[in-house]
């Protein structure tokens, strides 16, 4: 049995299909308030399984006269690794719920290569359906305002945000109003290389991205699969005009910065009503997960909060 794909310290894929993941430090949920919020784990679909973690900011008094927006978050990891239980995500999302005064629902979806795309898209979309069914029965959602729902995620999670938004836009029966999308360092690709991907010194990054896409997309597809290359997805002109407001966050030192910028420019060409591109200079890919208490992460949380308030 040999290793056919590997990122040291994160994942090994063996020739017989066995996958070994190396999880970093994880954080347990706690229903005791700490840092201005509390958290608990929930089961969204036990048959798959799909689970989640709710982050609830402290609300003074026994009840609140103001409903809180809901931010549904999808973690990154190139569709193959990652969890909302990772320590970096736990701290980032807990602090974000405090800064933005929102209820955060973070989703653990099924991972590739055991569950290739579009599984992650379907799992994450199902979390919105679950949210609709739970808002009247889950005590932690008693102050949730489903008329102000936001979708956010980093890296592969940013990619998922786009796909879930398209699917939600096409389902009039879904009882949530998605007001905005917040994509952090989104993970996209295509068969055609970009200037940065063709540049000297890029071969290692390109090879790793190619490996992850090969593990994630259907066996019959290539990097022009609609989930990889957003330009290949069939969305009508009328649908683009109904697309929610979008902010794309990119990092100056991120190899994927070019892809994120291309996504924002693509939406602008499609005349999406509101598209904003925000760059964090001097930072790398998903810095907010590796350094959740940094000044750059704090600024990102403030920027996200302002976008939510404005939309």
Is 115 catalytic? The answer is no
Pairing status of strand 68-74 against strand 144-154: parallel
Identify the active-site residue in 95, 145, 154, 254.
Answer: 254
- Grouping H, G, I as helix, E, B as strand and the rest as coil, residue 37 is strand
Residue among 39, 152, 155, 223 flagged as catalytic: 155
Instruction: Note if 191 is an active site residue.
Output: no
DSSP one-letter string for 269-304: HTT-S-EEEEEETT--TTHHHH-TTSHHHHHHHHHH
Is 285 assigned a catalytic role? yes
Catalytic residue among 90, 148, 185, 285: 285
Strand order in the sheet with 103-108: 37-45, 50-57, 103-108, 68-74, 144-154, 178-184, 245-251, 275-280
CA torsion angle 70 71 74 76 (round to 10): -160
Please give the positions annotated as active site: 155, 254, 285
């Amino acid at each position: 049995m040999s290793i056919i794909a590997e990122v040291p310290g994160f994942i090994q894929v063996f020739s017989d299909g066995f996958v070994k993941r190396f999880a970093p430090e994880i954080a347990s949920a706690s229903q005791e308030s700490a840092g201005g919020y509390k958290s608990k784990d929930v089961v969204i679909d036990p048959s798959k399984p799909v689970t989640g973690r709710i982050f609830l900011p402290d609300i003074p008094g026994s009840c609140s006269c103001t409903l809180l927006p809901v931010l549904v978050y999808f973690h990154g990891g190139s569709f193959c690794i990652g969890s909302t239980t990772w320590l970096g995500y736990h701290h980032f999302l807990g602090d974000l719920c405090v800064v933005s005064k929102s209820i955060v629902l973070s989703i653990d979806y099924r991972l590739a290569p055991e569950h290739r795309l579009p599984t992650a898209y379907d799992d994450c979309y199902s979390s919105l359906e679950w949210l609709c069914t739970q808002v009247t029965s889950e005590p932690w959602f008693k102050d949730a305002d489903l008329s102000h729902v936001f979708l956010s995620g980093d890296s592969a999670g940013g990619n998922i945000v786009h796909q879930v938004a398209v699917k939600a836009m096409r389902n009039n029966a879904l009882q949530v109003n998605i007001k905005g999308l917040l994509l952090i360092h989104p993970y996209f690709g295509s068969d055609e290389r970009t200037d940065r991907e063709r540049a000297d010194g890029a071969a290692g990054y390109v090879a790793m991205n190619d490996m992850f896409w090969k593990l994630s997309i259907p066996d019959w597809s290539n990097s022009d699969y609609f989930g990889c290359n957003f330009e290949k997805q069939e969305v009508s002109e009328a649908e683009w005009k109904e697309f929610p407001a979008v902010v794309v966050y990119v990092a100056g030192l991120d190899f994927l910065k070019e892809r994120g910028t291309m996504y924002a420019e693509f939406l602008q060409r499609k005349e999406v009503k509101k598209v904003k591109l925000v760059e964090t200079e001097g930072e790398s890919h998903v810095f907010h997960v590796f350094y959740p208490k940094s000044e750059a992460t704090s600024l990102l949380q403030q920027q996200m909060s302002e976008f939510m308030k404005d939309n």
